[in-house]
Structure 1
């Protein structure tokens, strides 16, 4: 579904990602994990079109997308849940969700997707007309995920969803990601909580200072001696 081949990308002509290659198959949940500053968020920004690569290529559903504008990539079926959530604080929960459906013209479809998001996140339904800035961090994370789902993506990119959340809320959001994945949406998540991310992943990649240093199934990586020593403290 998604193929990233020898991707080099950075900021102001300074690379922070060096010839990174990875893939996501249809229906998979894939985790890219590593410490803060490894370059994980940069990868997602490049996949979603917010950054342009220095070299390498990105293909989605067999089509090259690395030179397309971000809104065209959304239309193709990739939605991005950014680090830090970035909800529209002064707008209501419902209006935030509707912003996610801006590429969809059929209002009956929009209402259907809205009902599905409220079914997935009953707490958002309860707070439908509240301003987003009044929500807790966990509720704002749910809202950011719900907003991405309103675009009816084939692939959802999730950036550091655990950031600033209490452990119980992290568990809840991970359960939601698994539920989304079970419904057929592929998930590519980047996360510094290595154990949690690999436990739910079909496959994973370890990113260190802009390079992939290990890959395998989630279970294989959790048993990897390098991963145990460097990230799990075992």
Structure 2
């Protein structure tokens, strides 16, 4: 299926109650139990799951070719969930022009918890010199914000995989219309959905898309669900509508 077709149809949902072809905005925080005490529709509490958020995550996972997506209230919130999911003492390698919001998070909020180096990840020699036994993540951003530096994703992935290191790619500027990092070997993709997915400077959001539902992804999901850094149903609804115009 073409990317344009996925953008139009993957987030669409026909409302079962009214047969409306556009999913309504569902603002309820809680959902009705069945007679057996369960939740037959699969939704319990809107912090952990919501129909509008599910629709947004479904279309974003399909666009990137991942197995699942997790949406957040902003790109910074998505990035923070990654940092929170890592074990204390984990070393991160990040680009020297990393987006300032995420860079400042590491320097101010995770100092003493994680270690990190901001380097020219495009210089193979420099990258290999900074890999340590405790390096757990290489973060790349291509094109970068705001300098638009381009990183060879396959080259970085090859170096990382040889050492058993995860690679996350910030794909905000390219979008899956122009670049698909998961197909190039990255383990996870991040977007600030505020940018091109939102498109009109009136929506905020962030998203992570994974290639695998593993222990790392479970921790990120727990941060999302327990930390409450989730987008509103209204933002999810309008982001799905905006993605249709990609």
**TM-score range, shorter-chain basis?**
0.3 to 0.5
Which structure: greater strand fraction? 1
- How high is the TM-score relative to the length of structure 1? 0.36
**Based on CA coordinates, which of the two structures has the bigger radius of gyration?**
2
- How high is the TM-score relative to the length of structure 2? 0.34
